[in-house]
Amino acid sequence: MGAGKKIKSSAGLEILTGGIAHDLNTVITTIYGYCELALESAGDNTGSAKSIQAIISAADRAKLLTGQLLDLSRNASIEKVPVPVADALKDTINFISPSVPEGIRIILNLKTPDAWVMAPPARLFRIFLNLATNAIQAMRNKGGTLTITVENGDEAEGEGTAPTPGRLLISFSDTGTGMDEQTAGEIFKPFFTAGSHSGTGLGLTVVADSVRDLGGTVDFVTAPGSGTTFRIIIPDPFFGPLPEKD
């Protein structure tokens, strides 16, 4: 089992990443603009239109990267509000589904469908999106299944899973390539990429820091050829309908 280490950003790194993010956003906006013009020119040429759409999808992923860079550079706190976990996960799946390769299934297992947590909504979405993207990358070559499970921590049972009263357990379990011990020890470091888990290199760093900002923990179980399961534990969830404000 592995666990991420808190990444402490220096002032210089915050300035650098913030500047890079803003510059990238300018470039991405230009790409979007030219893609729109190209789509108009493509007309009925289906092949060209598909290629342009692929460029737009790549720009979408680049835009996600700039958001991660800004997350690393931003010091200001973000207001936490009650967020329904099931809705946040459904939004994540709907967002990522168009780019999921054939042969990969996503299963949402809501053992506690009425769970709420206090979190910045965009931050929770980004945690889920990065974990889902990481799992899909691990299964891209051979296909497989990503199972996302939400359950009450004090009712959780299974090998290596201790009961955790008053906490919500959210797990992302893929049937992908898994990781060896060396790779598993590096994945929470900024800009680290390796093999089938390649990507922006920032996703799991953002996940680790974001979960800690919520007062929670993130760990994982993995082995070569046996897939990977990431487990997020968030304290003080609320189950049931939210109480009405006075």
Residues 175, 230, single domain; the answer is: yes
Residues 42, 150, single domain; the answer is: no
9: CB partners within 8 A, 6+ apart: 17, 72, 73
Residues 131, 194, single domain; the answer is: yes
Phi-psi category of 31—alpha, beta or left, where left has phi over 0 and alpha has psi -120 to 50? alpha
163 in Cβ contact with 153 (< 8 Å) = yes
Residues 63, 87, single domain; the answer is: no
Residues 51, 91, single domain; the answer is: no
Give the model's pLDDT for residue 74.
57
Sign of CA dihedral 206, 212, 216, 217: positive
Give the model's pLDDT for residue 174.
94
d(CA 223, CA 73): 33
Supply the mean pLDDT for the chain.
76
Q: Considering its fold, how many domains does the chain have in total? A: 2
d(CA 207, CA 185): 15
> Which of 1-5, 24-28, 52-56, 148-152 reaches the highest mean pLDDT?
148-152
pLDDT, one tens digit per residue, over 38-55 is: 888 887 778 888 888 888
Is residue 244 in a domain? no
Is residue 232 in a domain? yes
Is residue 172 in a domain? yes
Residues 191, 162, single domain; the answer is: yes
d(CA 94, CA 36): 23
Res 183 pLDDT > 80: no
Give the model's pLDDT for residue 99.
79
Helical (H) or strand (E) element with 61: helix 46-73
Residues 139, 199, single domain; the answer is: yes
Q: What is the CATH number of the domain that holds 232?
A: 3.30.565.10
Residues 50, 95, single domain; the answer is: no
Interhelix angle 46-73/11-42, rounded to 10 degrees, is 160
Residues 163, 205, single domain; the answer is: yes
Sign of CA dihedral 59, 64, 67, 73: negative
Give the model's pLDDT for residue 168.
94
Structural domain range at position 118: 81-239
Is residue 99 in a domain? yes
Is residue 19 very low, low, confident or very high in pLDDT (cuts 50, 70, 90)? low
Residues 103, 167, single domain; the answer is: yes
Is residue 98 in a domain? yes
Give the model's pLDDT for residue 8.
39
Res 162 pLDDT > 50: no
Residues 53, 131, single domain; the answer is: no
Residues 106, 196, single domain; the answer is: yes
Is residue 245 in a domain? no
Is residue 246 in a domain? no
